[in-house]
């Protein structure tokens, strides 16, 4: 306090009283958070007891991580401390989440012995925001169904709304799966395969569903092919013919097997199965059974009988 009976303080006296540096107090004053109440005859800034209390509040808010813009709004009464704190909690949550994702990426890099280029790619993909991750899948789904007015709207909406957001604490396996999933979605060959599957679906909606279109058919395929494999029946063996007849519901071998084979090759190949597995891992449910062996058996059996 200066010795003139006014009860005012210089910046140096404020610094000694609060333990803050002169430089910090001067900066906050220059930024408008701590305006002087007056100036001395020599032009020095002077502060009163209210300034001391204001300075303590500024320090507290800054230690909590608030920016000077937020501090000024609180001090000006434009917002409350509670409102700013709530906003700041949201920001901190986002920062914490980003740090957890970074930790998961680094754990994956360390485990895999990744190169610098791989680490850069993994970090870039894993740190995409939830909105950006959703946009990638929505754009993929929109491309798959563009112009297919008869495509099943349930399947279309299910694909667009599939949850592919990394959890707050992703495991290295989930980071791996997310990176592979994004790369797969951007692959032109895979997009062509998924587009073919969507076109089959749209065609089915406009006609009586042929063999190979229904969920019932898929369940039946898995059951019959698993049984055939367990009994040691090879796809090219004569016994496989009866399995196909039962699967296709044929009484006289009249089903269009070429069409069924084309459908299975488009919708049940390894890359489509891998897509489903990756989605399941990212969502935290573990890989879903793809029944690759069962579908592979039926495809091989159909290929072995091209003229039937």
Q: Give the tens place of pLDDT for each residue, 278-288.
A: 888 887 766 55
> What are 38-56's pLDDT values in tens digits?
998 888 899 998 888 889 8
Every domain of the chain and the residues it spans: 11-75, 128-308
- Give 301's pLDDT tier (boundaries 50, 70, 90): very high
Domain 11-75 sits in CATH 1.10.1660.10: yes
pLDDT score of 234 more than 90: yes
d(C-alpha 21, C-alpha 64), whole Å: 18
For residue 202 the two structure tokens come to: 């749209």
Could you tell me whether strands 45-46 and 38-39 are parallel, antiparallel, or unpaired per DSSP bridges?
Answer: antiparallel
Which pLDDT score is estimated for 162? 52
Residues 6+ apart with CB under 8 A from 294: 221, 222, 225, 226, 229
Which pLDDT score is estimated for 209? 47
Q: 148-169: buried (b, 16+ CB within 10 Å) or exposed (e) per residue?
A: beebeeebbeebbebebbbeee
């Amino acid at each position: 306090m200066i010795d003139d009976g006014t009860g005012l303080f210089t910046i140096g006296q404020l610094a000694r009283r609060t333990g803050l540096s002169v430089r910090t107090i001067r900066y906050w004053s220059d930024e408008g958070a701590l305006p002087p109440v007056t100036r001395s005859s020599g032009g020095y800034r002077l502060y009163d007891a209210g300034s001391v209390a204001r300075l303590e509040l500024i320090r507290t808010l800054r230690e909590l991580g608030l920016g000077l813009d937020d501090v000024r709004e609180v001090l000006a009464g434009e917002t409350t401390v509670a409102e700013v704190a709530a906003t700041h909690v949201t920001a901190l949550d986002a920062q914490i989440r980003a740090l957890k994702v970074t930790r998961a990426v680094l754990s994956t890099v360390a485990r895999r012995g990744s190169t610098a280029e791989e680490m850069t790619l993994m970090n870039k993909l894993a740190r995409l925001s939830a909105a950006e991750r959703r946009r990638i899948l929505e754009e993929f789904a929109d491309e798959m169904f563009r112009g297919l007015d008869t495509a099943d709207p349930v399947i279309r909406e299910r694909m667009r709304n599939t949850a592919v957001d990394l959890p707050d604490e992703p495991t290295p396996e989930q980071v791996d799966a997310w990176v592979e999933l994004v790369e797969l979605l951007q692959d032109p060959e895979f997009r062509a395969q998924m587009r073919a599957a969507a076109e089959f679906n749209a065609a089915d909606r406009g006609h009586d569903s042929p063999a190979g279109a229904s969920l019932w058919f898929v369940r039946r395929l898995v059951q019959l092919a698993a049984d055939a494999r367990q009994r040691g029946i090879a796809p090219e063996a004569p016994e496989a013919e009866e399995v196909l007849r039962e699967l296709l519901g044929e009484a006289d071998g009249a089903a269009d097997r070429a069409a069924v084979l084309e459908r299975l090759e488009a919708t049940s190949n390894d890359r489509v199965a891998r897509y489903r597995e990756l989605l399941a891992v990212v969502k935290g449910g573990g890989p879903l059974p793809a029944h690759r062996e069962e579908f592979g058996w039926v495809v091989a059996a159909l290929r072995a009988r091209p003229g039937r």
